[in-house]
Amino acid sequence: MNNIIEITDFNANELDIYARLTENQLLNRHEPGKGIFIAESPKVVERALDAGYIPISLLLEKKHIEGEAKHIVERCSEVPIFTAEFDVLTKLTGFQLTRGVLCAMQRPVLPSVENICKDARRIAVLEDVMNPTNMGAIFRCAAALGIDGILLTPNSTNPLYRRCIRVSMGTVFQIPWTYIGKTNDHWLDCGIDSLHSMGFKTTAMALKEDSLNIDDPRLAACEKLAIILGTEGDGLAQKTIDGCDYTVCIPMSNGVDSLNVASASAIAFWVLGNKH
């Protein structure tokens, strides 16, 4: 195939995406339409392609051309495919590639909040969730446990960071998501009201004396429910809690007061998500 290029020059401009640009540079906040993200591993890349994401180039270990990435190579016949042995790729990127495959892709134009919510029964709202590992785990839980869409406040980490994508096993490409609020202050001032205006009851996952138990039948009876989870450590802002219809807690034992946000999301989505 004419588009397969063996790497001979580490300084080639085409390799900047993989070797020299940071994730924030790839995000390209000043020109979002030109943003790029990196998907890692054959399964994750395939999920991105299946979801309609557009590849820019591939970087892969030689043995995968006819191996694990064969189908991806065939689907990316119109873009450059850079290849080398595993040790060369590790030296180039600075880390060991998961299953020897990276794919640079165009960042999509995000849908509107209204578009995410219009047919949804269960959505998750993530307030200032900043850890990419947690973000990826939450997306994977959402995909598995009946959540229709995810809304992120402006300070939350971007789901298309490489580590987040990898931890999610590519489910960031399957669950529709977007940001809610132009700024965090805008979210705090208007976000809950906007969810109410679209017909959602809102439930804050928080520790509070008058919290409902997570299996309270009033929650399951809600036609449209937004499950709101807060940042690592501090949890939800008090203003968010005060604006919600319900505050919900997960019962704890042995003096443990709370769970990691990704673990809490799994329980919340299992109990409150769409039942299939």
Q: How far is CA 149 from CA 49, 143, 173, 229, in A?
A: 20, 9, 11, 14
64, 100 in Cβ contact below 8 A? yes
- Judged by DSSP in three states, 175 sits in coil
Query: How many residues can be counted in the chain?
Result: 276
- Containing H/E element for 84? strand 81-84
d(CA 80, CA 64): 15
Give the span between the Cα atoms of 72 and 79, in whole angstroms.
11
Residues with Cβ within 8 Å of 264's Cβ and at least 6 positions away in sequence, in order, are: 205, 229, 250, 258
- With b for 16 or more beta-carbon neighbours within 10 A and e for fewer, the 100-137 pattern comes to bbbbbbebbeeeebeebbeebbbbbbbbbbebbebbbb
pTM exceeds 0.75, yes or no: yes
pLDDT digits (tens, 9 = 90+) for 86-140: 888 888 888 877 678 999 999 989 999 999 999 999 999 999 999 999 999 999 9
Please report how many Cα atoms fall inside a 13 Å half-sphere around the Cα of residue 38, on the Cβ side: 24
Q: How confident is the model at residue 1 (pLDDT cuts 50, 70, 90)?
A: low
User: Tell me: the pLDDT tens digits for 29-72?
Assistant: 656 678 999 999 999 999 999 999 999 999 999 998 988 889 99
pLDDT value of residue 45: 94
Q: What is the pLDDT of residues 184-239, one digit of tens each?
A: 999 999 999 999 999 999 999 987 777 898 989 999 999 999 999 999 888 999 99
